[in-house]
Structure 1
């Protein structure tokens, strides 16, 4: 399985590349009045209007960084959404055996598991459960 590894604050997360349609630099965001807090606004990606979600709010992570540099465009079923992240670090091939289940936690429903590397641990996000819930 291939994953895109990105950063929110000082934590690293991953999503499967099968769900990723595109990775873009931050662009102009049009605010939507009375939208839920987790919706940062709308972006125009090559003529397509896409909702931009605040992943920090969805994962309950403090948003201390105002310097979110990248947008990951996620394609799910027939819907396309963007998630804003501090930085996209890399794309890696991950062996399924490297993914470990995690114990009970508040975010467990959205987390597929953790990927253990020699020098770090990366949280694998189940983007379908996160966004469709």
Structure 2
């Protein structure tokens, strides 16, 4: 399994590359009046208008004053959706055997498990479940 590892509020998360359409640097965001707070706005990517989500709010992470430098474009069902992250760290091939299940019922709704590397722990997000909620 291949994953994209990214940083949000000093924590590392991962999504499967099968869902990732592309990774872009931050670009101009058009605000949407009266949109829910987790919608940062819209971006125009090569003629495609894409909704941009603030994944910090969806994951209930405390916002740390860091610059959000990257946008991960995800292919969700019939449309493309962007999530804003502090930075994309790396793309890795991992063995599915190293993914540990999560016992927290609240987190089980959107977390596939945790990847326990020797020097760090990365939370593997089930992006379909997360964005469906």
Superposed structure 1 runs of 4+ greater than 3 Å apart: none
CA RMSD of aligned residues (A): 0.9
Q: Does 1:54 align with 2:49?
A: no
Match of 1:8 in 2: 8
Match of 2:129 in 1: 129
Which whole-Å CA distance do the structure 1 matches of 2:21 and 2:46 have between them? 13
Give TM-score scaled by structure 1 length: 0.97
Q: 1:78 to 1:28 in 2, by over 3 A?
A: same
Match of 2:94 in 1: 94
Alignment: residue pair count: 133
Q: Does 1:63 align with 2:48?
A: no
Judge conservation of contact 2:9–2:66 (CA < 8 Å) in 1. no
Give TM-score scaled by structure 2 length: 0.97
Q: CA deviation at 1:106?
A: 2.6
Provide, for residues 45-83 of structure 1, a one-character-per-residue CA deviation record: whole Å limited to 9, x for no partner.
011000000000000001113410000000011121000
